Amino acid sequence: MAAKLPSDHHQASSGLPQGLSTSDAPDVHWARKAQLSSSPSGLSSSVSPVNTDELSDLAVVLQVMHSTPDDERMQRACLQAVNRLAKDVCKLRPLCLGAVSAIAISAASMRHSLNVQRMAIAALSSVAYVQDVATLIAPLALPVVLEAALSHPRDSKLQGLMCEAFARLAQGGREGAMVKCIVASLMIPDVALPMLCDALQRLCENSICQPWQVVDELLHLCDSDPSDLELQRQVSLCMHRLLAAGVITQACVRGRGTLLNAQWAHLLERFLGAEDEEAKLDGTFHSKVQELFHQEVALHFEYEAAERCLHYLRRRTQPSQVFLEVIRCLTENLEDYQSRSEARELAWDASRQMLVPLDPHLRLRLQNEVLEAMQLRLPQALCTAAVAAADWPKSEESLVKTTAHLLNECGKLLERKTQATQDHHERAAELRREVMLFEAVEYLELNAAEATPTQVSSALHMLEVATAVAPADALERLRHRLARLTERVSPKAETFETAAMPQKVVRT
């Protein structure tokens, strides 16, 4: 026992996993470098670049990968080593699951690094080179490959590596699980749909999986949650893209043809985005109207100043009095705006991009904005008065034209404000939930032969959402039409409870 103590002590101090011998000199030396580089003492600057050719033991490499998850240089060196050492299948087999785990940790901790994601997928491809290993690691490796590819969806090289990795992982008959993994990613919010569709297309084109497998998984996912409208939209868009690319055909989804039509996805998208679109529309409208109103106040001041000049010059008033009248006009217009603002309860706050209570602070800020707008027109108003007074009465005709022109400009501003209000009302009507739902129901009615119970269930969920904001009579008509549609599409559908509907029905 005494003879073994120095050896055991040396092995423990090296920080290596139990069972690794210190006779693996290059790997032990490299592992110590990794520990130094990851220590808080700042010794990493003295460590020379890692030579991956020194690494000859896969177990040591995996140990270092686990111990330095935040060191990109180390992770890249380790991934290169795994890629190389995976060629020794005999040594790889007992460590293949550990290798996948280490690669997964490396990829997850370095999502920002495109190079690490590429190297991680390449390393997994090397690990999955042999069929029996690929069969064993596929359940763990498939999500790792997909998550790495989704982290940089626009990188074509990364997507190519992903498809290569999928091809190797499918060796053991795991193509069904692979398709399921890709399709399930549609549930991820804001997922890169084009990338997933391209991946499915490439897999089908290379006969790694079959179109019917893709369709089955898409339909299964679609039917799993009819109330998830975003998921329904994603599935419909995915099927439409695959149909356009020639990956699937109409025959693949016989009886569910409405899912292949982009119109259904568009209807769902409009309904889902209605609330945000309404907020954006209201914000744009209030901001524009308030801006036009301030312009109108400033322009009206200049018009009224010119009109007063004309009035007083015709009465042979002294020019100095005319100039004072221009200043008085500015003051009175500002006071008029103040009195009108005091009668308002809400105003548009441009800094917060929303309607807010008109408190004293905001009221003062808006008054200052109006004052600045009028002050910008004050020099022109004084200039008009000076020119008219200097050459009166010859300037009378010119002053009359100026006054008429300013009045006409005020009228144009008023028309713009009226048009903006009308446009807002028309657009807001299009965003009403019951209007969109009537369109969705009409679409399903026109395509009842190809509509699905899932789509009807989705429409019923849309009705629930619209209940809080839609008129009662519109809801009544929608319930009646959806009841008839349910009977036509699927008499056995359990998603529609007739007993819960009001007995009095208004027919359309």
Pair 420, 279 in one domain: yes
Name the domain count of the chain: 4
Q: pLDDT tens digits for 374-402? A: 999 999 999 999 999 988 888 899 999 99
422 within some domain: yes
Pair 238, 334 in one domain: no
- Whole-prediction pTM: 0.69
β 346-349/354-357 pair status = antiparallel
CATH number of domain containing 387:
1.20.120
CATH number of domain containing 101:
1.25.40
Pair 192, 301 in one domain: no
16 within some domain: no
CA–CA distance, 17 with 423 (Å, rounded to integer): 71
Burial class (CB in 10 A: 0-12, 13-18, 19+), 315: exposed
CA–CA distance, 233 with 15 (Å, rounded to integer): 52
- Identity of residue 82: V
Domain boundary among 173, 196, 222: 173
Pair 230, 339 in one domain: no
Pair 280, 421 in one domain: yes
Pair 208, 245 in one domain: yes
Domain boundary among 272, 296, 328: 272
Pair 404, 279 in one domain: yes
pLDDT tens, N- to C-terminus, the chain (508 residues): 333 333 333 333 333 333 333 333 344 344 444 443 443 333 333 334 455 555 678 999 999 999 999 999 999 999 999 999 999 999 999 999 999 999 999 999 999 999 999 999 999 999 999 999 999 999 999 999 999 999 999 999 999 999 999 999 988 788 888 999 999 999 988 888 999 999 999 999 988 889 999 999 998 999 999 999 999 999 999 998 998 899 888 777 776 767 777 889 999 999 999 999 998 999 899 999 999 999 999 999 999 999 999 998 988 878 788 899 999 999 999 999 999 888 888 888 878 888 889 898 999 999 999 999 999 999 999 999 999 998 888 889 999 999 999 999 999 999 999 999 999 999 999 999 999 999 999 999 998 888 888 999 999 999 999 998 999 999 999 999 999 999 888 654 444 333 333 333 333 3
Domain boundary among 376, 404, 430: 430
For residue 491, what pLDDT is reported?
Answer: 53
Pair 319, 381 in one domain: yes
Average per-residue pLDDT for the chain: 83
Pair 136, 202 in one domain: no
Strand partners, 357: 346
For tokens 């103040």, name the residue: 338
Domain membership of residue 93 as a residue range: 25-173
